[in-house]
Amino acid sequence: MSNKKAIPTQERLILALDVESVEKAKEMVSDLGSTVNFYKLGLQLFMSGRYFELLEWLRTREKKVFVDLKFFDVPQTVKSAVAQLKHRDAQFASVHGNDAILQAAVENKNGLKILAVTVLTSLDKKDLDDLGFKCDVEELVLSRAKRALQLGCDGVISSGLESSQLRSDLGDNFLIVTPGIRPVENKDDQKRTVDVKTAFKNGADYVVVGRPILQDKNPAKKAEAFQKEIFSIFSI
């Protein structure tokens, strides 16, 4: 395991706050209390309205925020979009696309950590074939990660299935954020999944967990169980 950066263990769990409204989000955050200190805000909440109100509400409660809007547009538009986060006090933002798009985001990050999307965890080899990428998933992830880091991105978003190879080939001096965390065999739209222990063993610095916590009958208890597992991993 090569991910022993100076990251507070409690913050290695990022909760994907994929709910339908800001009101529901605030209710969930309040219910989770101290069990979660880092939240990912995605497209569902963005489209519900009051996204930045929620971001500021979280920051006043000393929660950290990952703006997961996967910026993907012409470079100047991405550069301008990232600039809008300058005074929002978010920690991470995700960017998708080619070299020019990633470079535009990096040029205007102002202390924000830019995470490059490699290959969505909902895609497998067949999906890549359908999209015209005639290569293995791991090969594409490694290629995109290498280019992103050369351009100055702070890290990548990668399935736990590819992180071990990323660490082996590219080293430890970048962040790996791993979504698609599932504690058991998975049957939803996430195809390239791993459990928490495997994600960190393979080199992840953070894991993103959504439905396994949000859909549990007791989200706070479930989040606490994830945290206990993470603490046990990093206390070795």
| In the chain, where the domains are located | 9-234
Overall fold of domain 9-234: TIM Barrel (3.20.20)
Q: Is 79 a catalytic residue?
A: no
**Mean model confidence pLDDT for the chain:** 88
Helix, coil or strand: residue 24: helix
Say if residue 154's pLDDT is above 80: yes
Say if residue 159's pLDDT is above 90: no
**Tens digits of residue pLDDT in 193-221:** 689 999 999 999 999 999 999 999 999 99
Beta bridge partners of 71: 95
**Tens digits of residue pLDDT in 32-79:** 999 999 999 999 999 999 999 999 999 999 999 999 999 999 999 999
Q: Decide if 141 contacts 176 (C-beta within 8 A).
A: no
Q: How far is CA 77 from CA 5, 87, 94, 182, in A?
A: 33, 18, 14, 35
Catalytic residue among 26, 70, 113, 146: 70
Owner of token pair 């989200």: 219
Cα distance between residue 134 and residue 53, in whole Å: 42
Buried b (16+ CB within 10 A) or exposed e, 198-225: bbbbbbbbbbbbbebbbeeeebbebbbb
206-209 and 92-95: which strand pairing? unpaired
Cα distance between residue 207 and residue 129, in whole Å: 27
pLDDT band at 123 (very low <50, low <70, confident <90, very high): low
